[in-house]
Chain A
Amino acid sequence: MRAFARLLDDLSFTASRNAKLRLVRDFLAEQPDPDRGWALAALTGSLSFSAAKPAAIRKAVEARMDPVLFGWSYDYVGDLAETVALVWPARPGANREPDLAEVVEALRTATRGQVQPMIEGWLDALDADGRWALLKLLTGGLRVGVSSRLAKQACADLGGVAAPEVEEVWHALTPPYGDLFAWLEGRSARPSADTPGRFRSVMLAQALDEAVDFARLSPDDYLAEWKWDGIRIQAVSERGERRLYTRTGDDISHTFPDVLEAMTFEGALDGELLVMRDGVVGAFGDLQQRLNRKTVDAKLLKAFPAGIRAYDLLLDGEEDLRGLPFTERRKRLESFVSAAKSHRIDLSPLQPFETWEQLATLRAAPPEGDPRIAEGLMLKRRDSLYEAGRPKGPWFKWKRDPHLVDAVLMYAQRGHGRRSSFYSDFTFGVWREDAAGDRSLTPVGKAYFGFTDEELKQLDKFVRDNTVERFGPVRSVKANRDFGLVLEVAFEGLQRSTRHKSGVAMRFPRISRIRWDKPSRDADELATLERMLETP
């Protein structure tokens, strides 16, 4: 438990992805089975215990100390698990500290009545960090900034294999993953991935470089389709198992019962998960209403019905199609989708073209309907096999040019980790005219990348030299009609938002240029942004 507690503690304060990977990899390398396996299960969200409830834990601590003092402590700390971990009265001569495996195995078999005394015994035996880790484990949601993808990457690093290799076998494995570690440490063969409903590593596209690629590629070799603005999913229905995976192999089946129900086919589809109302695609914001939910109610299912726009077929019945060229798979996909006969599953249509110029025109001015809110175009080579990873050449994504707006820097916040000495998170605003005709800046977004290290230094200096006020780690920067720094901000889309004062929210904003030359009063107006709003 001690090593696991230390790992969670270190991870919770580490910002850099590489440092996190190293922490997890080292932990997996140093800790014995089955402790490390249970830890991996906890990190990837594969463990949950229903018997332990926060309310019971609160009751237990209030039985051991003055509830008023506990209340003040909770007010100060603000997090129940952390407060309990800190205030739990130490009991000298308490039991031996439990191992992680001991805790997990006991919880998996315990009845509700048995759980409470067990937890109290462990809290007595652990130190503050150990108690915190235990309570985080019990109440679910470690929130230490580790995605299951990162955890799998750390496994891959441990074994010196590529991440897709781990992702492919992942769903055939169960905690505490003894067979996985045996393989990664070269003590046994790779575990079999042949379980029904398993995930197959996806094929990804490269970004198209217009300046280089068109000159060397022939339009005759490629097929084009829209790049839909949802999330990439893999829908697998195999020998009675139905699963919906994200492109990194996270199982999100439970969030989309409506889609799962429609998967009456036998096979594995590659496609885009979208909100679809009578075959019309909703904006990304609609889909967001459905993502990352633990439970879905009938109202939500009705208001935001989800479906799949299919663009590839990996498995048809029992036949693996990944070794066939794209044109072959496409033919099979077309009959597969029409045989599925579901209003929740449709086909991503191909867009015929003859020259790159024609395609560019199409991308610049998409026709009425769904293509209007597509992210751009996809190009797939006719003969491309379905290869895991991001092979160079067969598939390209050609995104729409981003929207650009000139905004004025208003606030800056200190960054984290490597950037902690820099003001690197920038809030920017545009002009808004009120009823009296006065123009003032209203914040419309925040961006913390898009600039080079050298530009960051210049931005940091500008913030320090022109600070008006400080609020903790945030500084407000001089910005008015006559003075201010204009930032050209690029973003992918704009949605109405009730949470933002300006009424708009940008998607994926980044700083594309610093306009040292542009007077602040010439920055854009809110009205300009409002005209860009996506109308789904």
Chain B
Amino acid sequence: MVKLESLLCPTPAGLYCPPGDFYIDPVRPVPRAVITHGHSDHARAGHGDVAATPQTLDIMACRYGDDFATRRVALAWGETLSRDGVDISLAPAGHVLGSAQAVIRWKGVTAVVSGDYKRRRDPTCQRFEPVPCDLFVTEATFGLPVFRHPDAADEVARLLRSVERFPERTHLVGAYALGKAQRVIALLREAGWDRTIHVHGALLALNALYGRHGVDLGPIAPAGDAAGKLPGEIVLCPPSALADRWSRRFADPVSAFCSGWMRVRARARQRGVELPLVISDHADWDELTKTLAELSPGEVWITHGREEALLRWCELRGQPARALALVGYEDDAE
């Protein structure tokens, strides 16, 4: 069998595949890139060829403009692209709309680069698909046993309970603009919240994009257009807007923040969050370890996050693993 390092190797620009001459989620402009999903630390503008799912390409165009790359190569689920004897295909990663794992096959060896992923149900994107492989390259954003995300539906129920308890206040929910916001809206709809959801301007374009890809988010209105202070209503905004002057227009807002980091009280307090909602689009500790146990690949590489604990877990199980310590990915953003 060929050495795994000759198929994939970490470089300052990102994970590189020498025989296929392409990078996966490069952090610098490169001639050929495979992009797993649209979050800005993984999908950057300025590459030559960009291969990704049609949804991811759409997201990149929406964020960076139509000229974000020289050429786009849309890969539907299961479709294969061959480059100098290397076969590349994409499998759903369950992280955000269009998020994929890069499946790379060369000389009988299969490597899977997970990008960011989660295993739980999410009404706004396709569910993670395990792909048997020799090498599994995993993230470890929540790679500590303290991170065990509760059921997202229960967290949304907590939000609705708070709205009921404080009907004179606006509930201002901080959620990242790509993926988290749409998932929270979809979960609110599933929980029966059919009122108009007011959103910060920064969320409008991506909400519309989700709509074009068949994700129905129900009635949405820009919060800026609202006449009153929106007591009793739910308003979504990017996390940075929670403590921004923008938030002062609302009625004594209850600030809620959706993130896996909210599991730890000190993190929630640091941000001055009144209603922390543990809703994450990353795998928690149990999902990370269950996935490794399920795939049981010949080798595990860990790209970014809290790799030491996951390495320790692999070591205890006799699972060969190493940390790549790739730079450029945000450990804390979620």
Q: Which residues of A contact B (CB under 8 A)?
A: 12-15, 19, 22-23, 26, 65-66, 68-70, 72-73, 76-79, 82-83, 86-87, 90, 127-128, 414-418, 420-421, 472-473
Contact = CB atoms under 8 A, between A and B. Distances in A.
Nearest to B248: A421
4 smallest beta-carbon distances between A and B, as pairs: A86-B146, A87-B145, A420-B272, A73-B146
Nearest to B310: A69
Interface size class of B (residues with CB under 8 A): 20 to 34
A83 B145 CA distance: 9
A73 B308 CA distance: 11
30 contacts: A13-B269, A13-B274, A13-B275, A13-B276, A14-B274, A22-B165, A22-B166, A66-B312, A69-B313, A70-B145, A72-B312, A73-B145, A73-B146, A76-B144, A76-B146, A77-B264, A79-B266, A82-B265, A86-B146, A86-B147, A86-B264, A414-B243, A416-B272, A417-B272, A418-B252, A420-B243, A420-B247, A420-B272, A421-B245, A421-B247
Interface in B153-194: 165-166
Given A76-B264, A86-B145, A421-B245, A13 B312 contact: no
B264 A473 contact: no
Interface of B: 144-148, 150, 165-166, 242-248, 252, 255, 263-266, 268-270, 272-276, 308-309, 312-313, 316
Highest count of chain B CB atoms <10 Å: which of A87, A417, A420: A420
Contacts of B264: 76-77, 82, 86
Given A66-B316, A86-B263, 11 more contacts: A13-B269, A68-B312, A69-B145, A69-B309, A77-B146, A77-B266, A82-B264, A83-B146, A86-B147, A415-B272, A420-B272
Contacts of B309: 69, 72-73
A79 B243 contact: no
Contacts of A420: 242-243, 247, 255, 272
A73 B273 contact: no
A85 to B, nearest CB: 9
Highest count of chain A CB atoms <10 Å: which of B247, B255, B273, B274: B274
Nearest to A26: B165
B148 A86 contact: yes
B243 A472 contact: no
A66 B312 CA distance: 9
B249 to A, nearest CB: 10
Nearest to A23: B165
Given A13-B268, A473-B270, A69 B312 contact: yes
B259 to A, nearest CB: 14
Given A26-B165, A69-B313, A87 B146 contact: yes
B144 A127 contact: no
A79 B263 CA distance: 13
Contacts of B270: 472-473
Highest count of chain B CB atoms <10 Å: which of A19, A416, A421: A421
Contacts of A82: 264-265
Contacts of A416: 272
Contacts of B266: 77-79
A60 to B, nearest CB: 15
Nearest to A66: B316
A62 to B, nearest CB: 12
A13 B255 CA distance: 10
Contacts of A23: 165
